[in-house]
Structures are given as C-alpha cells and as structure tokens.
Amino acid sequence: MLPMFVADGISEPREIHSMPGVVQHTRDSLRRAAADAVAAGVGGVMLFGVPRDEDKDPTGSVGVAEDGILNVALRDLAKDLGDDTVLMADTCLDEFTDHGHCGVLDAAGRVDNDLTNRRYVELAVAQADSGAHVVGPSGMMDGQVAAIRDGLDAAGHTDTVILAYAAKFASGFYGPFRDAVGSSLRGDRRTYQQNPGNAREALHEVELDIDEGADIVMVKPAMGYLDIVRAAADLSPVPVAAYQVSGEYSMISAAAANGWIDLQTVALETLTGIRRAGADIVVTYWAADVAGWLA
C-alpha cells in the first residue's frame, strides 16, 4: 500500500525535504500519481490531507468538511479509480488541528479520549461518504474502533473496512512525516501511543481492536517492531498490516544517496523481513517502486 499526501493551496507538487522522492501533491498531480501507482500494481493507496495552516482549528473541522482537502481528493480518486484499487483514508485529527494532537483537548490541555472518538466518527463517515473503501484510525484512542464501527453502520456504511492502527508506538521514526504533513505539534504523543518497551500492552491493544471489530490490525513502525508483527500474526484472525514509516524510508534513502548501501537491495530486504515476520499487508513509501521492481 502506498501512502500519499495531498495539500491544499499549492499549485505545484512540493518536495518534502526529509523524505527525498516523496511530495505533497496538488489535486491534479495526485490523480496522475495515483493512477500511475495503480497501473504499476500497488495494492492500494492511503491518503493523508494537508490543509492550509489558516484552516486548522482546535477540533480539526477541515477534516470533516465536505470541501476539506482530504475529502475532496478522496472524491477525485474514487471517481478516477473506482474499484481498480483499494482507497484508504487516514482517519485522524493531527493533520487538521492547530495544536497538532491526534485528538481534541480538554480544559487542561490533555487529549480527551471520548470526545475525540465522537469526532473520529464524523471523520470516518465523511471519508466513507467521499468514497474511501477503508478508514484508518491512527490516533490510538481507547475504543476508537468500536465507536467508528457503530457510527459507520448507523450511517449506512456497513461495508466500509476499518484498518486499525492497533499497536502504534510513540516513535522517533515519525519525524519526517511531521514535515510531510506540516505538523503543528509541540510536545509528544506518549499519553496515547504505545511505550516501545512494552510488548504485552501492545498485544493487548491488538486483541482489543479485534474484539471491537477491526477488519485489519496494524503494527507501526515496522522494522524495530518485527517481534510484535510476528506475535500479532500468530494471534490475529484478521489480516495484519505493518507500516514502514517515514523515518525508516528516509534513513535508507539517505544512506543510499551517500553511496553507503544499495537502495533497491536494502529496501527489498527490509520489506522481505516485514513479510517474513508475518505481515499480510505492507505500507511503504516505496510501494510503487517495489511493484515495478517485482514485475
């Protein structure tokens, strides 16, 4: 699966300096790049929206808005690609909030778990209305999968798939992604993402999401957490995904650009490792390249 970024208010694709080869797309360049990726053979595209800074607010309204960049771009791709590919949306608030957290805040400035889940339901329904086949709640709120399943069903979206970010660790490897989405975050996400040292808790999160109705469970990042991928694959009755995140991509890209390692060899080796650990689905910024290499 190929993650892609689409930004509002730009007229040319914009390079992401910490992710060489990855761009923030305009609506038009996204349509072309997504069609090319699907033609190359990717298993699907996962879309992240980057609004204009002035459109961000405390509750991430532009994520829910029908004319918000992510929903508009989902409609573009749904129209262009139909059922030729699997169209996924990132179902989170951090790209859309002015404080950059994945949820809405309470009076004390802490993320309010249950209020956030209500917002996630609105996001998920807006994305399904816009043509997403799969919603990907990535905010790690407790109960988010159950809330979204209920909300989607109540809105008539009984066939919309939930890819649950089940074991998402509070990781330094997301650094380049925060450039990619122009994140406004100050501080960290350690009150809602997982502790990298705690495997037992991570697997408990996977089990909870399966109980709540997740159709796919994801482990993220991938390379430093292959033991969790393997354990999740062993226990899960639903497919397991792993996300090779921005920092993994950038690290290998940078070393290859210096001539220290061979990009294709190392990229394929890491992806093979993720598959060997038991991932049924791999999310990687190299998805389109890999589809070409394997063909």
Catalytic residues: 168, 220
Query: DSSP string covering 108-149, please?
Result: TS-B-HHHHHHHHHHHHHHHHHTT-SEEEE-S--TTHHHHHH
Q: Does 246 bind ligand PBG (CB under 6 A)?
A: yes
Kind and range of the H or E run holding 219: strand 216-220
Residue 189 assigned ligand-binding role: yes
Q: What separation in angstroms does the CA of 27 have from each of 33, 66, 75?
A: 10, 15, 11
The residue (of 80 and 116) whose beta carbon lies closer to ligand PBG is 116
Q: Does 94 bind ligand PBG (CB under 6 A)?
A: yes
Q: Does 90 bind ligand PBG (CB under 6 A)?
A: yes
For ligand PBG, the nearest residue by Cβ is: 177
Across-strand partners of 7? Answer: 50
What minimum distance in Å lies between the beta carbon of 82 and ligand PBG? 26
Q: Does 177 bind ligand PBG (CB under 6 A)?
A: yes
Member of 24, 97, 117, 138 binding ligand PBG (CB under 6 A):
138
The residue (of 43 and 80) whose beta carbon lies closer to ligand PBG is 43
Q: Which residue has the tokens 């905010």?
A: 139
Q: Are 242 and 283 in contact (CB under 8 A)?
A: yes
Left, alpha or beta for 95 (phi > 0: left; psi -120 to 50: alpha)? alpha
Member of 16, 23, 92, 219 binding ligand PBG (CB under 6 A):
92
Binding site residues, ligand PBG, CB under 6 A: 90, 92, 94, 102, 138, 174, 177, 189, 245-246
